[in-house]
Amino acid sequence: VEIFRKDYQPLPMIVSKINMDFSIHEGKTMVHSELYIEGNPAVNLADGTDKDLVLDGDETALKLLSITLNEKELEQGKDYILEPGKLILKNPPPKSVLKTTVEIVPEENTQLSGLYKSDSMYCTQCEAMGFRRITYYPDRPDNMAVFERVRLEASKKDYPVLLANGNLLEEGDLDGDRHFAVWSDPFPKPSYLFCCVAGNLGKIADSFTTSSGRKVDLQLFSEPDNVHKLQYAMDSLKRSMKWDEDVYGLEYDLDLYNIVAVNSFNMGAMENKGLNVFNTAYVLADQATATDTDFERVEGVIGHEYFHNWTGNRVTCRDWFQLTLKEGLTVFRDQEFSGDMNSKAVNRIENVQALRARQFAEDAGPMSHPIRPESYISMDNFYTSTVYNKGAEIIRMYQTLLGKDGFRKGMDLYFERHDGSAVTCDDFLAAMADANGVDLSQFSLWYSTPGTPVVSYSYEYDQPSKKFKLTLTQESKSESGPLHIPISVGLLDKNTGEDVVPTTVLDLKKEKQTFEFENLSGDVVPSILRQFSAPVKLVAASGEQDEEALAFLAARDTDGFNKWEAGQVLFTNLIFQVMDGKDKTASKTWDFVKEAFGRTLNDYDSKDYSIVAYALNLPTESTLAELVDVVDPIAIHKSRGHVKRSLAREFHDDLLKRYKALTDAMSSGEFKVDAESIGQRRLRNICMDYLCSIRETPQEQIAAAALAKNHYESATCMTDKVAALNCLASMDGEGASARDEIIKRFYDEAEGDALVLNKWFSIQAMADLPDILDRVKALKAHPDFTLKNPNRCRSLVGAFSMNSAFHDESGAGYRFIREVLEELDPLNPQISSRLAGSLITWKKYDEERGLLMKTELEKLSKLKPISDDMFEIVSRGLK
Ligand code: ARG
Ligand code: ZN
């Protein structure tokens, strides 16, 4: 059934307190719950109106064994009604206590929602609607209750560690190798923040003293074998706690903060109050097994879940349509944190790249939705890049419009008004507006408008009056008229390159607006949409960007983001010219690109190695795909590859020189994950990647393989190993033996480490080889492959769907994915529906391809049974 935002109704009766008792036995767990029910003080119903309490409960997971109200047995059909998905308690008197006992089987819970088993440990995932797979309960975020006593009981030998939210009240031994623990969480919370864990876990411990002097014990748990990989997460946690105090004045509020790493997890991590659960991929990291990107992600996700304690937990969502209230805001906060810990410019480039590759694509396809969706069938389908990443951009725009101080004032008022309650996006906007005395009613349209707005620009400089006029036009996507778009602009003097008008925020509120800059001393080059101040596509009104201006900005813009961006636009132009069959050597664009590339590559003064590296990097295939009306992924792949190889040949000697200089500079240093070391590795690996792209002749193949193999053999960290394997994985001809040798070696050296094996699968799945599909099929049959572990599944199937070879004209790639999805949907619908996203964009492709994709979608739609998640994605795709 489809649920609509407009249909929201508060509960007439609520649960204000709950006690639970879990008795965990192999193959069956008994859950006993006591619900303290009362009338919702916020709802006034006329006397005599029935006030039923609707308890959610997934009948495929729960077996109801007993039910009493105020100690009296209840009669089905009279006192309560069981319907699919719910138990309706008929008109309970206010102040009643409902007791239920259900049996569940975590061992068979392959959906990984509710209480399930991840390898040898029990854990829970309740967001969005997993709690109803544990017990009968009003499983919606506006029901906030105190979880006063949560008792866990299990075998002491197999599950020595028993955890739940809040503080430990009691623990002790019981007869026959059993033991128990009782936890209590003083903060009222919605059921989606509930968590419990039972396992044989190792841990590291530390503490953090908050600014007001509260000593908080910090404990990070994992399987005993992985404990040595928890230190970076611990350091990141302490940095997060400090940062939230410094930047927002927000302190942690319990005496204990626990984090548990689990192997099988559908998403990145979960902010359960006082007991975060993490996908191992986002918490475990060390030099031998994690890349720099992994370290970066660990820090970001640790921050993200920590920041949720205020933006999500203390103030939560009234209903799931408001998801971006906590997710957009918390992503924004984790981005700012990462920017402060590392490099702001690098961070911004990475976040915008991700937004363009994923969110723009989502907005251009059938899953397009506003950051606050209007309806859903399965809420799990709406944990999207739009809600998260575009949501974060909307929050960033508040800060751009109100300034850092104004934004902070708004945050303070938001917490002052709403701490301890479940609220809406409108409440957030009102706090921002009221704290700053501004009208944000037009800005609110961002919450209801889907799609990526297009902003076009044109400009002119009037010599006699020394005036510069910039005209901006927005293509309105909103039915309620134009959006309020902050456009950050700076003007650079054409001759001196000096920033004559520093970054200014223009308020684009009308469909078309002209902004004038006066008293200039000469002609200028505008730098528009600095820092990517709004999630829009910026285009030249004339249809053609002034490449001279772009080259100028790529060399001299004082805004790090736009400097990078100008270079990317030049690369993009060149790649599309090649795709259109133009001879690149005859093009002016090629000259601009060469000039910018050579200057950047040979800039030995800049210590901002990551920025240098990103300036040399070509736009990704998915970013390029977003820029054309009809996508031919193979043609994009070929043209991009062609430009890459041309640059590699043109700059072969410079690339090799830079590669060697970096090798020398890095050889003595110890391993560090600071911005400089990461940047050096990144730049050196990009040089290798360009050099390895030259392999037309057998001699070149031998040279490329030797370079990458040597890179691998001398690597002292996972980042460099992965970079080398990435190059080798696509080698053929004379490079094939080195490829096979290092693939095998990487596998052996992984020694069964799950996260390293994921890399081994995904690098091979993304390789550029003619028989790639056969290879992927062989990997699917590999003993280490399983569809049951989401990380493993994504590392092969998800990675292959990103390979341009997935779009092979034969349609074999599409067929393969559909077959996998048929197998996966009955096991884990959240993951199957995610992967089905690779087929729903069929309208973006040429007719033949589109038809092949659609055919597979149609087959999927006939799947019986089909999960709600899959049904929703496939139906949207076929509409
Ligand atoms: N709230 C979690 C986070 O942002 C994500 C949980 C999503 N879970 C899901 N089943 N859709 O970190
Ligand atoms: Zn989140």
Instruction: State the pairing for strand pair 537-540/454-462.
Output: parallel
Consecutive H or E run containing 721: helix 718-729
Identify the pLDDT of residue 347: 97
Identify the pLDDT of residue 45: 77
> Is pTM beyond 0.80 here?
yes
Ligand 2 geometric centre to CA of 371 (Å)? 14
Q: Is the pLDDT of residue 642 over 90?
A: yes
For ligand 1, atom 2, which residue shows the shortest CA distance? 270
Q: Is 213 exposed, middle or buried (0-12, 13-18, 19+ CB in 10 A)?
A: exposed
**Rounded distance between C-alpha atoms, residue 600 and residue 596, angstroms:** 6
The ligand minimizing its distance to the Cα of 190 is 1
Q: CB under 8 Å to 364, separation ≥6 — which residues?
A: 451, 452, 626, 841, 844
- Ligand 1 pocket: which of 109, 310, 383, 867 to mutate (most atoms within 8 A of CB): 383
Identify the pLDDT of residue 145: 98
Query: How large is the average pLDDT for residues 754-763?
Result: 99
Identify the pLDDT of residue 480: 86
Ligand 1 geometric centre to CA of 323 (Å)? 10
Instruction: State the pairing for strand pair 28-39/13-25.
Output: antiparallel
Q: Is 733 exposed, middle or buried (0-12, 13-18, 19+ CB in 10 A)?
A: middle
Q: Is the pLDDT of residue 47 over 80?
A: no
Name the nearest CA neighbour of 789 among 264, 115, 282: 264
Ligand 1 geometric centre to CA of 307 (Å)? 14
Instruction: State the pairing for strand pair 256-262/275-279.
Output: parallel
Residue 257 tokens, joined: 């903060």
Kindly give the number of the ligand 1 atom that is closest to the alpha carbon of 380.
11
Q: Is 812 exposed, middle or buried (0-12, 13-18, 19+ CB in 10 A)?
A: middle
Ligand 2 geometric centre to CA of 61 (Å)? 26
Q: Is the pLDDT of residue 24 over 90?
A: yes
Per-position b or e across 151-167, b if 16+ CB within 10 A of its CB:
bbbbbeeebebbbbbbe
Ligand 2 geometric centre to CA of 433 (Å)? 24
Kindly give the number of the ligand 1 atom that is closest to the alpha carbon of 327.
4
- Ligand 1 pocket: which of 58, 259, 267, 385 to mutate (most atoms within 8 A of CB): 267
**Rounded distance between C-alpha atoms, residue 369 and residue 379, angstroms:** 13
Ligand 1 geometric centre to CA of 678 (Å)? 29
The ligand minimizing its distance to the Cα of 325 is 2
Identify the pLDDT of residue 584: 81
Q: Is the pLDDT of residue 322 over 80?
A: yes
For ligand 1, atom 11, which residue shows the shortest CA distance? 380
Residue 606 tokens, joined: 């800049």
pLDDT in tens, 379-404: 999 999 999 999 999 999 999 999 99
Instruction: State the pairing for strand pair 467-475/454-462.
Output: antiparallel
- Ligand 1 pocket: which of 131, 139, 240, 270 to mutate (most atoms within 8 A of CB): 270
Ligand 1 geometric centre to CA of 862 (Å)? 29
Ligand 2 geometric centre to CA of 836 (Å)? 23
Q: Is the pLDDT of residue 522 over 80?
A: yes
| DSSP annotation of 61 | T
The ligand minimizing its distance to the Cα of 330 is 2
Ligand 2 geometric centre to CA of 382 (Å)? 12
Q: Is the pLDDT of residue 232 over 80?
A: yes
Residue 34 phi, psi dihedral angles, 5° rounding: -120, 115
Helices (H), 580-674: 588-601, 609-616, 621-625, 633-650, 652-667
The ligand minimizing its distance to the Cα of 331 is 2
Q: Is the pLDDT of residue 476 over 90?
A: no
**Rounded distance between C-alpha atoms, residue 352 and residue 568, angstroms:** 12
Name the nearest CA neighbour of 541 among 599, 455, 422, 627: 455
Ligand 1 shell residues, CB under 6 Å: 127-128, 266-271, 304-305, 327, 380, 383, 830
Mean pLDDT score of the chain: 97
Sign of CA dihedral 42, 43, 48, 49: negative
Kindly give the number of the ligand 1 atom that is closest to the alpha carbon of 268.
12
Identify the pLDDT of residue 21: 99
Kindly give the number of the ligand 1 atom that is closest to the alpha carbon of 830.
10
How many CB atoms lie under 10 A from the CB of residue 237? 24
- Ligand 1 pocket: which of 127, 192, 272 to mutate (most atoms within 8 A of CB): 127
Ligand 1 geometric centre to CA of 833 (Å)? 15
Kindly give the number of the ligand 1 atom that is closest to the alpha carbon of 301.
12
The ligand minimizing its distance to the Cα of 308 is 2
Query: How large is the average pLDDT for residues 563-590?
Result: 95
The ligand minimizing its distance to the Cα of 333 is 2
Kindly give the number of the ligand 1 atom that is closest to the alpha carbon of 304.
12
How many CB atoms lie under 10 A from the CB of residue 23? 17
Q: Is 697 exposed, middle or buried (0-12, 13-18, 19+ CB in 10 A)?
A: exposed
Identify the pLDDT of residue 313: 98
Identify the pLDDT of residue 51: 85
For ligand 1, atom 1, which residue shows the shortest CA distance? 270
pLDDT in tens, 488-520: 999 999 999 999 999 999 999 999 999 999 999
pLDDT in tens, 183-229: 999 999 999 999 999 999 999 999 999 999 999 999 999 999 999 99
Q: Is the pLDDT of residue 764 over 90?
A: yes
Query: How large is the average pLDDT for residues 362-386?
Result: 98
Ligand 2 geometric centre to CA of 672 (Å)? 28
Identify the pLDDT of residue 161: 98
Kindly give the number of the ligand 1 atom that is closest to the alpha carbon of 266.
10
pLDDT in tens, 403-448: 999 999 999 999 999 999 999 999 999 999 999 999 999 999 999 9
Task: Give the pLDDT band of residue 543 (cuts 50, 70, 90).
Answer: very high
Say if residues 722 and 763 touch (Cβ distance below 8 Å).
Answer: yes
Kindly give the number of the ligand 1 atom that is closest to the alpha carbon of 269.
12
Count of alpha carbons within 13 angstroms of residue 62, beta-carbon side? 30
For ligand 1, atom 8, which residue shows the shortest CA distance? 127
Ligand 2 geometric centre to CA of 503 (Å)? 31
The ligand minimizing its distance to the Cα of 128 is 1
Identify the pLDDT of residue 331: 99
Query: Distance between alpha carbon 244 and the CA centroid of its chain, in Å?
Result: 21
Catalytic residues: 305
Supply the ipTM of this predicted assembly: 0.98
pLDDT in tens, 290-301: 999 999 999 999
Size of the chain, expressed as the number of residues it contains: 879
Q: Is the pLDDT of residue 55 over 90?
A: yes
Ligand 1 geometric centre to CA of 614 (Å)? 30
